[in-house]
Amino acid sequence: MGTSHQVFLVLSCLLTGPGLISCQLLLPSILPNENEKIVQLNSSFSLRCVGESEVSWQHPMSEEDDPNVEIRSEENNSGLFVTVLEVVNASAA
């Protein structure tokens, strides 16, 4: 029987930009919309933060410190702001 290790990484998706001042916007959402995401060791995954104003990711390490993490903005035709956090070759420490 193998040993199962679980590592929890807390990430947050934040509203930024001028919409934050008005405070009348809906909170941003994270996609896929799951309470828990379990990934296999050395696999890749991505999360999208979507909001009515500019959004950004807050995570424990900077992109410069972790080459397996990429954060980028994506454009879509819905008028919403989308920022993607992509993890390649996921590992635990």
Type of residue at 11 = L
Tokens of 55: 């959004």
DSSP tag of 50: E
Q: What is the pLDDT of residues 38-87, one digit of tens each?
A: 888 899 999 999 988 888 888 777 666 778 888 999 887 888 999 999 99
| Residue pLDDT, tens place only, 41-53 | 899 999 999 988 8
For 64, the 3-state DSSP assignment is coil
Q: Which residues contact 22 (CB under 8 A, 6 or more apart)?
A: none
Flag whether the pTM goes above 0.85: no
